[in-house]
Amino acid sequence: MTKLSVNINKVALLRNARHLDLPNLVQFAIDCEKYGADGITVHPRPDERHIRYSDIPALKEVVTTEFNIEGNPTQDFIDLVLANKPHQVTLVPDDPNQLTSDHGWDTIKHLAYLTEIISTFKKEGIRVSIFIDPELEMIENAAKTGADRIELYTEPYASGFEANAKKAVAKYVEASNLAEKLNMGINAGHDLNLKNLKFLKQNISQLAEVSIGHALVADALYYGIQNTIGMYKRLLV
């Protein structure tokens, strides 16, 4: 079964709209785990518009499943991860003012840079995943960095799903097969939802973990968080 990691960024965004601790981010993470989530994902950005750096130690204390911290490996981010030692760190090439993640790493151009950073995390026992487009050359070089996993950027899959699901997933299947041959685990994330998740899972048997936030939190407004987590989990069997 593919694991479901719930990204709680949008819950933090709602909290930050008022000077109140409502919703309480730590309690929300605890409840997600209680309702069946296999992990909690956070993506702190430099402007702290949703997850704040100060949230990380409190979440680290309570998360009992798998804690995944995503982000661009600036020095502040590296220090944050090393101080809190999550189970997994996912490296994402975000620009400081980027609205959301919209591309994977160029693992050819940044090979030496990524190799050094990944080595730093792995020495501390932290599993490392690289956010990446489903391009074979990029995946081949991702393996050279020493990363344990890749996280496939699935927005192109999601945007093409309604028109032609088989065509939309084809590159992801090919990319996953190569990653498996290179002994890398496979995660996926971005714009996955109740409509397109099952098809992705059916076509990528090696899928270890999906990280879902925006759609899941939006669905929870209608279905409730406990029910919503169950709905997503059933698609990953």
Query: In the predicted model, is pLDDT for residue 38 greater than 70?
Result: yes
What confidence score (pLDDT) does residue 103 get?
79
Instruction: Provide Rg for the chain, Cα atoms.
Output: 17
Query: In the predicted model, is pLDDT for residue 98 greater than 80?
Result: no
- Report which of 20, 21, 25 is spatially closest to residue 10, judged by C-alpha positions: 25
Highest mean pLDDT among 82-96, 98-112, 184-198: 184-198
Task: Give the pLDDT confidence of 180-195 residue by residue, as tens digits.
Answer: 999 999 999 999 999 9
> Which residue segment(s) compose the domain that 202 sits in?
3-234
Looking at 33, 66, 70, 209, which residue is catalytic? 70
Q: Are 140 and 178 within 8 A, CB to CB?
A: yes
Query: In the predicted model, is pLDDT for residue 39 greater than 80?
Result: yes
Mean pLDDT lowest for which of 36-40, 97-101, 123-127, 135-139?
Answer: 97-101
The set of residues, in sequence order, having a beta carbon less than 8 Å from that of 129 and lying 6+ positions away, is 68, 88, 89, 90, 91, 147, 148, 149, 150, 151, 185, 187
CA distance 76 to 96: 12
Query: In the predicted model, is pLDDT for residue 44 greater than 60?
Result: yes
What confidence score (pLDDT) does residue 102 get?
63
Please give the average per-residue pLDDT across 41-55, as a whole number.
94
- Count of domains for the chain: 1
What confidence score (pLDDT) does residue 116 get?
97
Task: Give the pLDDT confidence of 105-148 residue by residue, as tens digits.
Answer: 999 999 999 999 999 999 999 999 999 999 999 999 999 999 99
What confidence score (pLDDT) does residue 94 get?
77
Amino acid, res. 107: T
What confidence score (pLDDT) does residue 96 get?
58
Amino acid, res. 94: D
Looking at 33, 50, 151, 190, which residue is catalytic? 190
Please give the average per-residue pLDDT across 1-15, as a whole number.
97
Q: What is the mean pLDDT of the chain?
A: 96
Task: Give the pLDDT confidence of 17-35 residue by residue, as tens digits.
Answer: 998 999 999 999 999 999 9
Query: In the predicted model, is pLDDT for residue 56 greater than 80?
Result: yes
Q: Is 19 a catalytic residue?
A: no
Give the CATH number, domain containing residue 141: 3.20.20.70
Looking at 43, 50, 66, 209, which residue is catalytic? 43
Q: Is 43 a catalytic residue?
A: yes
Query: In the predicted model, is pLDDT for residue 101 greater than 60?
Result: no
